[in-house]
Structure 1
């Protein structure tokens, strides 16, 4: 530990990155202080997980033994933590043309993890972040909210952080290391001029978003789609149109997170209209979107971006470096691309698995030198490049229509599958191993760069360019991927639904997945050298074991608080045909109902307040008349 210093680590910010980092560090014996400018609970987006996110937090639990992290990697775990959420069984995409409803040939779907490994979930972040903060006393994390960081200095021996409580005197604490988890505010990045004036990213978007009630289920508007197999709202909704996309992230409270992200070159900001006027104008252009969102009512003010470096409405930012003497930036403090594909929490989970073991060892060795953390910067820069090329290329594809979008979308399928399946097989703490969006997998990196090069070619033309995208993806999808991966028409005439990761569905799907995984690893020797076959075997066996353990927990739950059983009931109810419509406001899809109360199902977390700092020995020691 760091003798003579107040703390080993000071974490600035207590969102999902700062709170989970603090819990994991403290469990490893690292003396940790968290400083939060605001107060929980508070509104924040970043509400959808993907399979690799769930796996990252599951792995982090195994690495650090913080079992409450289960709230961050499964819908039943989220509900046991008392948080509002929703089971996510798939990613649904619908192509919208002005004045035309979405038709089956304009629908795309990619299954997420299904039970027993899944499902992934949507989380009301105000609930989830607060849940983790409420664990601070249990893990002996010192916490100050409503406290600003006003200054930072460091040298080769320590870091000094000056903090100012809202109703208290300014004081300085010392630590061996500081982690900036302040997100867009990026306190240390701004202080040291690390933020790039030009992000040098191909994605160029802005956004407006909020939480709403009275949002209709798509299956109350469109005919049921057997190919999807679930209610469309049983996953994350992506309405795509030329120049932008609309997300729909449903919660089991009846509220929905809705946001529009726009290509700034196609949809430049018009400051003469309000955020709500712009929102309504876009919604009214597309019949299916209007039918679902036309009567929605905001439950909080709509936010339109314009707060990032210099007040620009562009949401992308990046840095020249993520660490310096005695400090490091968490991913969301170092860079951001776009909400598309939910990469924010994904990058956070990957960072935590790498940083926590390094920090624990640094605390033990008393060595917090920059070289120890340099590999984290190297992999993060590659990850941001990969995310930007996939997301930026997706935005560009929308300019040319549904067919072009479909064949660039196939790149995301490939990258997402490669990312998940290779990361299952290697230690997550290894910064040189497979990363977010398949960074550090050479063959996949080459594919991403090639597809990005095609779509951004100044001479790109819709028909010939789409053929080039299709040919490139056809070359990498081979028969080992299973049926439906190669025979995609140039201009799809049916719903295309990919169930490649749906290992809980059929043994055949799992066999196809493993065959493809072996082919991918064999073509990347640097990845093959890191693979631990035992991890893959444990992952397969664990899938089978979870079926039985989940069933036992369902039965036990029915005898107790009912939470786990209720969560599984909602999971089953979003399967197509499980319940009859209408689905909007259907009690079978809501958590807090009169039936729940009658059955004794817990619907809120048993919370306790952690805003006080009376348990802070450093603060007490520095107050006259008090001792540690």
Structure 2
């Protein structure tokens, strides 16, 4: 193959894939002086494959904090724009939404929705509003950031990788659809389900490692009525409007997600919503040729209080389907001179909006060894093995939680317990990241971020790590027993709530272990009680974590206000 780099140059790293992960990693590497080529098939603005849109639109506070970690650790400040609604509106695109809460409304077939069977996690006021991302615009922005920092970015159909040859001693050669080739010292495949490395090296696992089985249909729709304006949606008394966040309608056999983009003050009337329907693939098998719209309408007829939200809704674009099953995995995601990153390594389910956080966890852990390898020339597989371990743990944790949730959808008491396990994970994860950001702000010492890379369990800081690490497997085991009929849903829920009450690293005032508390809402009164608990009762390690993280959040919020008062240092126009 003839090398297509400038003057026949050999690149340090070749990154395959557009979307979110590939351009993000390419920007970080190029900023560090690593000679990087990014091969992002697409139109140059929306580089990711369409299925990625289903797993990367909601930025939860944990993902928002990780964006700031990657931006600051690797000195790519432009990435911070994606962490907040104001940053996206200012620097990226007005086509976005606000994410002030994650909501869950449980429905029973043929019955009216029970007002008590809901759960909502409300972002604390000290956290700047995260966004709903219009992925075509944010993916294009990330391509611009990668170009700005010196990556050789190639987009369009001609950039599709069709052939890969790897020499463990020298590197890799990537041939693209336009007939050119790139010689690289190391290749990172972030191309999701369509991973060319997985195809060329025969890395597909069959059957896939995840035991959870689901499939997803998704599109964007206009005319979706805010759920707060439906008869059922008016009855819940929740602290934050459903329409100001990501809403999950859950039911026995699946869930329906609504991600509004027109839910902030400056939105255009009639802005669309992203809509994803995920079904248990065992109970609702894929039927070739059945229209996706027909499947959606069939679900809406079964659950009239969901249907009320969609009476005037019409698809604003084509439906996309993951086919018979969404889950896939790869054997040996890290090998000689290559790494399969994020959704190229595997995928479980878009439940709980894990997509952006998963990509950021992997990029944070992979970028440093790549930068070090480019500097010292040591590309040995052992240097990157922890990334494979990290990804396996992340996928296993999501598999546990997705499986347990689908079983729990049949019973409110059980789902009320399982959803708290996810809540605890995302809250602890955000606190651990905020603690690292605060420490880095005080010391400028990069090593504070190292603990975020391989963690024993995703989302677990050192405080309570072993106990927290047991909750996901416990939820799965209990739900397996429910599915086999050897344990009742109520008994499983009681066991989970007992485990949550045993978490001595969580302030009791937050109500996570109280099944009657339908809303995780940190009001000032709750925070005052939590602060008293931190001063008087919390374990020493937990107290130190919470004090540092909360102090960092407060300083961050004030710093954000000062930044917004000044001029923007970056915009999409200047990037171009």
Tell me whether the two structures share a fold, i.e. TM-score over 0.5.
yes
Do the aligned partners of 2:247 and 2:257 also contact (CA within 8 Å) in 1?
yes
Give the match for residue 158 of structure 1: 170
Do the aligned partners of 1:322 and 1:377 also contact (CA within 8 Å) in 2?
yes
Q: Aligned ranges for residues 321-360 of structure 1 at < 5 Å? A: 321-360=332-371
Change (3 A) 1:366 1:483: closer
Q: Aligned ranges for residues 209-228 of structure 1 at < 5 Å? A: 209-222=218-231, 224=234, 227-228=237-238
Structure 1 SS opposite 2:169: coil
Give the match for residue 440 of structure 2: none
Aligned counterparts of 1:116 and 1:439: Cα–Cα separation in 2: 20
Post-superposition offset of 1:520: 9.8
Structure 1 SS opposite 2:239: coil
Change (3 A) 1:463 1:547: same
Change (3 A) 1:486 1:38: closer
Post-superposition offset of 1:78: 1.2
Match of 1:258 among 263, 275, 279: 275
Do the aligned partners of 1:482 and 1:509 also contact (CA within 8 Å) in 2?
yes
Match of 1:9 among 13, 24, 33: 13
Change (3 A) 1:95 1:472: closer
Structure 2 SS opposite 1:301: coil
**Which of 268-277 and 418-427 deviates more?**
418-427
Post-superposition offset of 1:517: 11
Residues 193-249 of structure 1, C-alpha deviation per residue, up to 9 Å, x if partnerless?
Answer: 211111132210011110111110111114546742121111110001110000000
Do the aligned partners of 1:179 and 1:327 also contact (CA within 8 Å) in 2?
yes
Aligned counterparts of 2:533 and 2:291: Cα–Cα separation in 1: 48
Structure 1 SS opposite 2:276: strand
Post-superposition offset of 1:468: 2.9
Give the match for residue 160 of structure 2: 148
Give the match for residue 287 of structure 1: 304
- Residues 1:34 and 2:38 aligned together: yes
Give the match for residue 193 of structure 1: 202
Aligned counterparts of 1:346 and 1:248: Cα–Cα separation in 2: 19
Aligned counterparts of 1:513 and 1:294: Cα–Cα separation in 2: 48
Post-superposition offset of 1:510: 5.3
Post-superposition offset of 1:136: 3.2
Match of 2:375 among 335, 359, 364: 364
- Residues 1:298 and 2:345 aligned together: no
Change (3 A) 1:16 1:514: farther
Query: TM-score by structure 2 length?
Result: 0.85
Aligned counterparts of 2:523 and 2:171: Cα–Cα separation in 1: 47
Aligned counterparts of 1:421 and 1:503: Cα–Cα separation in 2: 17
Aligned counterparts of 1:55 and 1:551: Cα–Cα separation in 2: 17
Aligned counterparts of 1:542 and 1:408: Cα–Cα separation in 2: 30
Do the aligned partners of 1:13 and 1:37 also contact (CA within 8 Å) in 2?
yes
Match of 2:479 among 433, 447, 455: 455
Aligned counterparts of 1:282 and 1:517: Cα–Cα separation in 2: 48
Q: Aligned ranges for residues 350-499 of structure 1 at < 5 Å? A: 350-398=361-409, 400-425=410-435, 427-430=448-451, 431-433=453-455, 435-438=457-460, 441-457=465-481, 460-461=484-485, 464-477=488-501, 480-482=507-509, 484-488=511-515, 496-499=518-521
Structure 2 SS opposite 1:457: helix
- Residues 1:128 and 2:172 aligned together: no
Q: Which has the higher helix share?
A: 2
Aligned counterparts of 1:171 and 1:273: Cα–Cα separation in 2: 40
Any unmatched runs of 5+ in structure 2? 1-6, 263-267, 437-447
Aligned counterparts of 2:496 and 2:430: Cα–Cα separation in 1: 22
Aligned counterparts of 1:216 and 1:158: Cα–Cα separation in 2: 57
Give the match for residue 89 of structure 2: 79
Give the match for residue 445 of structure 2: none
Change (3 A) 1:247 1:514: farther
Change (3 A) 1:118 1:321: farther
Give the match for residue 592 of structure 1: none
Any unmatched runs of 5+ in structure 1? 307-312, 490-494, 523-530, 565-601, 610-628
Give the match for residue 596 of structure 1: none
Aligned counterparts of 1:99 and 1:520: Cα–Cα separation in 2: 51
Do the aligned partners of 1:423 and 1:434 also contact (CA within 8 Å) in 2?
no
Match of 2:184 among 175, 185, 190: 175
Give the match for residue 573 of structure 2: 606
Post-superposition offset of 1:8: 0.7
Aligned counterparts of 2:180 and 2:560: Cα–Cα separation in 1: 50
Change (3 A) 1:424 1:542: closer
Aligned counterparts of 1:134 and 1:14: Cα–Cα separation in 2: 12
Change (3 A) 1:507 1:418: closer
Change (3 A) 1:165 1:204: closer
Post-superposition offset of 1:20: 0.9
Aligned counterparts of 1:200 and 1:512: Cα–Cα separation in 2: 45
Do the aligned partners of 2:342 and 2:359 also contact (CA within 8 Å) in 1?
yes
Match of 1:56 among 49, 66, 69: 66
Aligned counterparts of 2:510 and 2:520: Cα–Cα separation in 1: 9
Give the match for residue 441 of structure 2: none
Residues 392-436 of structure 1, C-alpha deviation per residue, up to 9 Å, x if partnerless?
Answer: 1101122x3222222222222222233333344454434333553
